[in-house]
Structure 1
Amino acid sequence: MVRVMASLFTLVGFVGALSGAAAIAQTPPAPAELSAYRGLHAAAARGSDEDIRRLAQAGADLNTRDGNGRTPLHVAAFQGHGAAARVLISLGADPALLDNQRYDAVTIAAVRDDVPTLKALLAAGASAKLVTSVYDGTALIAAAHLGHDGIVRELIRAGAPLDHVNNLGWTALIEAVVLGDGGHRHTQTVRVLLEAGADPRISDRNGATPLQLAQARGYTGMVSLLQRPLPR
């Protein structure tokens, strides 16, 4: 118990720093990059299905990369062009490729809280199960961290692993607590994860459970959810 309490007290400063870093972990194309794009990157940035098809038919590399390792599919996801993303995948673009920050298109859409683009990617065959980011996480963990409860629902429907543990020792459920603000959307995220079967008994590396972490932060809505008996 002493170790758990020490974990709870020392976690706050670390989490504050991590939250700020995570918010800028992805690198969307800057305006200068967007204006300099040519070929498929430019077509993806505009969301032009017609130009994507024309360039693909002319032999353009669907998985070509820009200076940050972004493919046209990454660019389409960053720009919120779900229809263009579906066309790219249908023509052979690889949805499992990661950019230089180790993000795939699904995680990009998840972080952007872009449900329509996420749905388009998943419908086209992109996976919700990839391990992404420097934290060896998943799109579900990223969405839970940010309290994107609608995204969390879609990823769970697509088979995202509920109890994946990243290299910080955290699951999606733990991240919703320790990187959340205790507000409505993070609390709904905890609810959705629990209803889907996420395991609240998985603790962090110091033995603190999601319930203990929520109690330490005074997140009463989460505490109420986490105190419910597990289904038999």
Structure 2
Amino acid sequence: MHGRLLICLAFFMSLIASPLFASERTMNEAKLFAAASSGDVGEIRKLLAGGINVDVRNKAGETPLLVATHRNNIDAARVLIEAGADVNAKDMILDSPYLYAGARGHFEILKLTLLHGADLKSTNRFGGTALIPASERGHVATVRTLIDAGVDVDHINNLGWTALIEAIILSDGGKRHQEIVQALIDAKADVNLADGQGATPLQLARSRGYAEIAEILLRSGAK
């Protein structure tokens, strides 16, 4: 009996190692990436039920969840996350589903990642948290959500910039960025924390002619 079991096990292992089995697995992985990209929830569920690895990687190091996040395919992302996909898995350029959703303002996916273990201290290829590009790009709701989640408002990236500084120097100074500056200040961001060249947020706002942002900073004790 023991001998038969060993024979069966050896046969099964040979199937796994066979080119045919590997080819089918590769094809199913390709199908999963395609389904994640197109938002085909039914196909995703079918492939996951077949035992495919939810965190399989493509040549760019992306997982299916990151591919779904790129397209802002909310339902696809939800199915993958609920199946255990890693919201912090980074690709070759250090994007993760959490970081990408935050940076791009993919709000619903961001909230899903926060509910499933997003690493608030994780950083992108510029050494910045999700809050910094969200502030730069004017994603007001995303900024507020990340602040509420507990992301460090004074984190400095590799360029020497905080979220507050990026909300000034990489913005148009308009209403959305004014709201973000105020939200960061309300969250106790240091209004006098200078950039790598020693320029303060107030100096940077004035140099760009952003009078409204400068006024917000002045009311908060900026120098």
Structure 1 segment 28-107 matched on structure 2, within 5 A: 38-107=30-99
Distance 1:113 1:95 in 2: 16
CA contact (8 A) 1:178 1:214 kept: yes
Q: Are the aligned partners of 1:96 and 1:126 in contact in 2 as well (CA < 8 Å)? A: yes
The secondary structure found in structure 2 opposite 1:169 is coil
TM norm structure 2: 0.80
**Where does structure 1 differ by over 6 angstroms across 4 or more consecutive aligned residues?**
none
Higher relative contact order (CA 8 A, sep 6+): 1
TM-score, with structure 1 as normaliser: 0.77
- Residues 147 and 185 of structure 1 are in contact (CA less than 8 Å); yes or no, is this contact kept in structure 2? yes
RMSD: 1.7
Q: Secondary structure at the match of 1:38?
A: helix
Partners of 2:149 and 2:61 in 1: CA distance: 26
Look up the SS of the partner of 1:163 in the other structure: coil
CA distance in 1, matches of 2:77, 2:90: 15
Tell me what 2:146 maps to.
Answer: 155
User: Which of 199, 211, 215 lines up with 2:190 in the alignment?
Assistant: 199
Q: Which amino acid aligns with 2:185?
A: L
Number of aligned residue pairs: 193
Question: Is contact 1:129–1:159 with CA below 8 Å preserved after alignment?
Answer: no
Contact 2:81 2:116 in 1 (8 A): yes
Larger radius of gyration: 2
Aligned match of 1:8:
none
How far 1:182 moved relative to its partner?
0.9
Deviations 1:112-144 (A, max 9, x none): 3222222232233333431112x1111110111
Identify unmatched segments of 5+ residues in structure 2.
1-28
Q: Distance in 1 between matches of 2:151 and 2:46?
A: 34
Q: Paired residue for 1:210, among 201, 207, 218?
A: 201
Question: How far, CA to CA, are the matches of 2:103 and 2:132 in structure 1?
Answer: 10
Unmatched segments (≥5 aa) in structure 1: 1-36
Q: How much identity, in percent, do the aligned residues show?
A: 45
Output the amino acid matched with 2:80: L
SS, match of residue 219 in structure 2 = coil
- Alignment deviations for residues 83-124 of structure 1 (CA, whole Å, 9 cap, x no partner): 322221222211111122211112222333222222232233
| Match in the other structure for 2:110 | 118
Give the match for residue 3 of structure 2.
none
Offset of residue 198 of structure 1: 1.2
Deviation by residue 1:181-210 (Cα, 9 ceiling, x = unmatched)? 111111111111111111112111121111
| 8 Å contact kept, 2:61–2:90 | yes
Q: How has the CA–CA distance of structure 1 residues 128 and 81 changed in structure 2, closer, same or farther, with 3 Å as cutoff?
A: farther
